[in-house]
C-alpha cells in the first residue's frame, strides 16, 4: 500500500518545476525518483495528475503517493565494519575514509550498504528504497566517522523526525586552511545546487534550503586551523561549502578547496566525531564518540602550532 503525503507550495518555492520542488522539499528524494513518480501519475493536484514540467504556484496543495520500496537488488558483501553500538532497532557505524555510503553510478559495490546487508541480512529499514536501506543520513566518501543506521521502518521514522527537528546531535572535527579570526562563530547561509556544476553545492538564495553550522577553534597552526563543528542542519556537503564560503576550505578538499591539495592528504580532513540521539524505542538519550583516525592525527602532527 502506498504512503500518501501532502505538500503545500510556499511563496519562495513558487515557479519551481514540479520534479525539482519534490526533490528539494522531501527528505532523501532524488530528482530522478520524483520524475518517476510524476510519470506514473502519483503526484496530483485537485485529483488531477501533473507533469514534471508543471511550474508550482504559491498555495498549491499537492498529493504524493510514495511507492512501496522496491525489493533490494544490491548484493551483500562481507566487508569489515567498526560498530560502535547495535541493538534490534539500529546500529551506529564508524565509517572509514574512502568508503561510499550507498551504491550509485560509478560505485555499485564495496559500499557501506553492501557491508550492512551482509551484517544485518533483511533487517534494515526499507523507507529509502532500493539503494539506501536503513540509511538516515550520510557522510561523504572521504569523510570518516559515525553515522546511524535504522534496522526497521519504526526506528527510521522516529529518528528521521529528530533529524528534521534538529534535535539530532552531530559534531565534527576538521582542519581548515588559514587562520580563523574568531575563536567561535556561526555560518547561517542557505545551500543549493551549483548553477553550473551540478555535482557541487553552493551558498545561494535560489532554490536553496537553510543551513546552519556552528564552529569553535580547537588549535591554531601555521597555515591551518583545527576546529570543532556542530551541525544544526544537514545539507549535502554543508561543512565543506560553509567553510569554503568563509574563505577557509577544509584541508584536502578536492572540490571546494585549492586545486593543489594540502601535502600528505588524500581527500578532506573531516571526521564525524560524535553523534547523539534519543532511542526510538525506549526514549534513552544515547551519545557515541569516535577517536580521530590516523590520517587526521598524522596530518596534525606534521603541522606547527602557532
Give pLDDT tens digits for 9-49: 988 889 999 998 998 888 767 788 889 899 999 999 999 99
Question: 35 — phi, psi (to 5°)?
Answer: -60, -40
From the list 140, 165, 188, 298, the catalytic residue is 140
Q: How far apart are CA 35 and CA 23, in angstroms?
A: 9
- DSSP string for 158-178: HHHHHHHTT-SEEEEEEEEES
If asked whether residues 134 and 153 sit together in one domain, one would say yes
Domain-located, residue 125: yes
Residues 90 and 154 in one domain: yes
Taking only the tens place, the pLDDT of each residue in 153-193 is 999 999 999 988 888 999 999 999 999 999 999 999 999 98
Residue 45 lies in a domain: yes
Q: Let me know whether 259 and 240 are in one domain.
A: yes
Report the alpha-carbon distance of residue 29 to residue 31 in Å, rounded: 7
Return the closest-CA partner of residue 78 out of 120, 38, 136, 50: 120
Q: How confident is the model at residue 129 (pLDDT cuts 50, 70, 90)?
A: confident
Where among 139, 165, 191 does a domain terminate?
165
252 and 180 within one domain: yes
Is residue 279, in this structure, part of any structural domain at all? no
How far is 124 from 89, CA to CA, in rounded Å? 9
| Contact (CB, 8 A) for 271 and 174 | yes
At residue 68, does pLDDT exceed 80?
A: no
CA distance 127 to 153: 6
98 and 189 together in one domain = no
Closest CA to 218 of 229, 209, 207, 231: 229
CATH code assigned at 62 = 3.10.290.10
pLDDT band at residue 57 under the 50/70/90 scheme? very high
pLDDT of 1 reads 62
The model's pLDDT over 261-297, given as tens digits with 9 standing for 90+, comes to 788 787 899 999 999 999 999 999 999 999 999 999 9
125 shares its domain with 206: no
pLDDT in tens, 240-255: 999 999 999 999 998 9
| Ranges of H-type helices in the chain | 18-25, 31-39, 112-120, 153-164, 238-245, 294-302
Q: Are residues 119 and 212 in the same domain?
A: no
Rounded (10°) CA dihedral 41, 44, 50, 54: -140
In a domain, 290, yes or no: no
- Look up the domain containing 215 and give its range: 170-272+296-302
Q: Quick check: is 291 in a domain?
A: no
Are residues 77 and 58 both part of a single domain? Answer: no
Burial track 248-263 (b if 16+ CB lie within 10 A, e otherwise):
bbbbbbebbbeeeebe
> Which of 165, 192, 225 is the last residue in one of the domains?
165
Instruction: Pull the grid cell for residue 186.
Output: 556561526
> Is position 98 within any domain?
yes
Give me the CATH number covering residue 133. 3.30.2350.10
- Which of 165, 181, 200 terminates a domain? The answer is 165
Position 106 scores a pLDDT of 67
Look at the chain and report how many structural domains it folds into.
Answer: 3
Whether 285 maps to a domain, the answer reads: no
Q: Check residue 12 and give its pLDDT.
A: 84
* Residue pair 149/116 in contact by the 8 Å Cβ criterion: yes
What is the C-alpha to C-alpha distance for residues 241 and 192, in angstroms, rounded to an integer?
Answer: 10
Instruction: Give the DSSP per-residue string, 34-47.
Output: HHHHHHTT-EEETT
Clarify whether residues 197 and 113 are in a common domain.
no
Residues 203 and 222 in one domain: yes
**Per-residue pLDDT, 71:** 56
Q: Is the pTM above the cut of 0.85?
A: no
Inside any domain, residue 286:
no
Compute the CA torsion angle 22, 31, 69, 277 (nearest 10 deg): -70
* pLDDT reported for residue 207: 78
Residue 266 is among the residues annotated as catalytic for this protein? no
Pairing of strands 43-45, 191-193: unpaired
Residues 176 and 239 in one domain: yes
Residues 80 and 58 occupy one common structural domain:
no
Contact yes or no for 146/275 (Cβ under 8 A): yes
Amino acid at each position: 500500500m502506498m504512503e500518501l503525503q501532502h505538500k503545500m507550495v510556499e511563496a519562495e518555492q513558487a515557479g519551481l518545476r514540479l520534479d525539482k520542488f519534490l526533490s528539494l522539499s522531501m527528505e532523501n528524494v532524488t530528482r530522478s525518483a520524483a520524475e518517476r513518480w510524476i510519470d506514473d501519475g502519483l503526484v496530483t493536484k485537485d485529483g488531477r495528475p501533473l507533469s514534471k514540467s508543471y511550474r508550482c504556484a504559491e498555495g498549491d496543495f499537492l498529493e504524493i503517493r510514495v511507492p512501496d520500496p522496491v525489493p533490494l537488488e544490491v548484493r551483500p558483501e562481507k566487508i569489515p565494519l567498526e560498530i560502535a553500538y547495535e541493538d534490534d532497532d539500529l546500529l551506529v557505524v564508524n565509517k572509514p575514509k574512502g568508503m561510499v555510503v550507498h551504491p550509485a553510478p560509478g560505485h555499485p559495490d564495496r559500499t557501506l550498504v553492501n557491508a550492512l546487508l551482509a551484517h544485518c541480512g533483511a533487517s534494515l529499514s526499507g523507507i529509502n528504497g532500493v539503494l539506501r536501506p536503513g540509511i538516515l543520513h550520510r557522510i561523504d566518501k572521504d569523510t570518516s566517522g559515525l553515522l546511524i543506521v535504522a534496522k526497521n521502518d519504526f526506528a527510521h521514522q522516529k529518528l528521521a523526525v529528530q533529524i528534521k527537528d534538529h534535535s539530532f546531535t552531530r559534531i565534527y572535527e576538521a582542519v581548515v586552511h588559514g587562520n580563523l579570526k574568531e575563536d567561535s562563530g556561526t555560518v547561517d547561509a542557505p545551500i543549493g545546487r551549483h548553477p553550473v556544476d551540478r555535482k557541487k553545492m553552493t551558498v545561494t538564495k535560489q532554490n536553496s534550503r537553510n543551513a546552519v553550522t556552528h564552529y569553535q577553534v580547537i588549535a591554531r597552526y601555521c597555515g591551518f586551523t583545527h576546529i570543532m563543528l556542530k551541525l544544526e542542519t544537514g545539507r549535502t556537503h554543508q561543512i565543506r561549502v560553509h567553510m569554503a564560503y568563509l574563505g577557509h576550505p577544509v584541508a584536502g578538499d578536492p572540490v571546494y578547496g585549492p586545486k593543489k591539495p594540502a601535502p600528505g592528504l588524500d581527500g578532506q580532513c573531516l571526521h564525524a566525531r560524535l553523534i547523539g540521539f534519543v532511542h526510538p524505542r525506549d526514549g534513552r538519550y544515547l551519545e557515541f564518540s569516535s577517536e580521530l583516525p590516523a590520517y587526521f592525527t598524522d596530518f596534525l602532527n606534521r603541522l606547527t602550532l602557532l
